[in-house]
Amino acid sequence: MPQVIFLPHEKFCPEGLVVEVEPGTNILELAHEHHIEMESACGGVCACTTCHCIVREGFDSLEEADELEEDMLDKAWGLEPQSRLACQVIVGEQDLTIEIPKYTINLAAEAPH
């Protein structure tokens, strides 16, 4: 079974996480199942960029992003060539290393009171 490695992120997973998964697993759902509370303002339907992630290893094993995802990614903070929306990343047969960027653009987030 492939492994998904979430690199440490000071807010969402300070220790990082390594987990074996079945092929076909969605990265955003996997993160949430393991209490990595990545943002997903749209509920994971590819309508925002809050679940933007960078696939540091295994990027070439993924299916290509469709046009809608590409259009959404154009709006993401810190876009890189290996950027994807976690709600659209489906694990294949190879290991993946995922980095959650430090910032997101979340226009729906409430300001602290």
Which one-letter amino acid corresponds to residue 20?
E
| Single pTM value for the model | 0.90
Separation of alpha carbons 93 and 82, rounded Å: 18
Average pLDDT, the chain: 91
**Residue 106 has what pLDDT?**
62
Q: What is the CATH code for 6-94?
A: 3.10.20.30
Task: Please identify every stretch of the chain with a pLDDT value under 70, giving residue numbers as ranges.
Answer: 105-113
Domain boundaries, the chain: 6-94
Residues 6+ apart with CB under 8 A from 4: 17, 18, 19, 21, 25, 27, 30, 91, 95, 96, 97, 98
